[in-house]
């Protein structure tokens, strides 16, 4: 019950890593607002799974890549008080080699991965400032550190999340708001299911632990950074990759 009574916002909170994060907090008593863009079935499923937990998950459809969508999400979540924790997990991927990459694929990934971060943090910290406390955790990727061929757009956006995290931590530290990032490696999600098996096998073979990670393992790292066990940690990027890097 570490997060009992907390109000938590998770973007991209109904599938994959975001779903595991939302459920992790709900198991410990939090009221979680899980934002999603289109998949209503996934939203209904995660809300139903949380029905027997000590906390709850409220699903909200919102395009957090826009100011209107992000502000509406934050205002709704904070209607009964403030926001204690913000998890920025929303994002997209459109792989392709740069020489053949369409402008639309570049723009979509930059907008889909960085604009939600900007808009949700902007409105989220305004709610946290009133209490002079709060925690933000941004979800990046090892592609943003090491780079991945065929992912220049994705690597640029995920590397940007790490730099954004460091800068915002300096801005909000005096107000008691901590900002950190988790940097997942190869995690068992629908995204990985769409990758070529030989590519997955090569990456796994190079990992120190020799396996894929689970969404729950990433959620545990997020929960730690958001918790009162990490009150002197800010501006950091915690790699959760089984030793790939």
Known catalytic residues? 154
Sheet holding 56-61, edge to edge: 56-61, 31-36, 7-10, 85-88, 134-139, 177-184, 237-240
- CB of 40 within 8 A of CB of 67? no
Distance of alpha carbon 218 from its chain centroid, rounded?
10
Buried b vs exposed e over 39-56: b needs ≥16 C-beta within 10 Å? eeebbeebbeebeebebe
Cα–Cα distance, 233 to 229 (Å, whole number): 9
Give the torsion sign (CA, 237, 240, 242, 245). negative
| Own/partner long-range contacts of 74-81 (Cβ < 8 Å, ≥24 apart) | 74/9, 74/120, 74/123, 74/124, 74/126, 74/127, 75/123, 76/33, 77/7, 77/9, 77/33, 78/7, 78/127, 80/7, 81/7
């Amino acid at each position: 019950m570490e997060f009992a009574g907390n109000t938590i916002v998770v973007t991209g909170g109904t599938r994959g890593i975001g779903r595991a994060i939302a459920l992790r907090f709900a198991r410990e008593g939090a009221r979680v607002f899980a934002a999603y863009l289109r998949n209503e079935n996934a939203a209904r499923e995660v809300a139903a799974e949380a029905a027997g937990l000590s906390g709850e998950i409220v699903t909200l459809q919102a395009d957090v890549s826009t100011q209107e969508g992000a502000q509406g999400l934050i205002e709704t979540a904070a209607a009964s008080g403030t926001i204690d924790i913000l998890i920025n997990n929303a994002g997209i991927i459109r792989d392709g080699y740069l020489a053949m990459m369409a402008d639309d694929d570049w723009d979509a990934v930059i907008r889909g991965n960085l604009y939600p971060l900007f808009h949700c943090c902007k409105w989220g910290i305004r709610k946290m400032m009133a209490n002079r406390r709060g925690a933000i955790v941004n979800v990046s990727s090892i592609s943003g550190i090491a780079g991945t061929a065929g992912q220049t757009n994705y690597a640029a956006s995920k590397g940007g999340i790490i730099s954004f995290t460091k800068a915002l931590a300096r801005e909000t530290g005096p107000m008691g708001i901590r900002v950190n990032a988790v940097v997942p490696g190869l995690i068992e999600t629908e995204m990985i299911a769409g990758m070529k098996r030989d590519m997955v096998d090569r990456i796994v073979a190079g990992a120190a632990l020799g396996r894929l990670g689970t969404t729950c393992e990433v959620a545990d790292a997020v929960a730690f950074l958001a918790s009162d066990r990490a009150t002197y940690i800010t501006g950091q990027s915690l790699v959760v990759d089984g030793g790939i890097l």
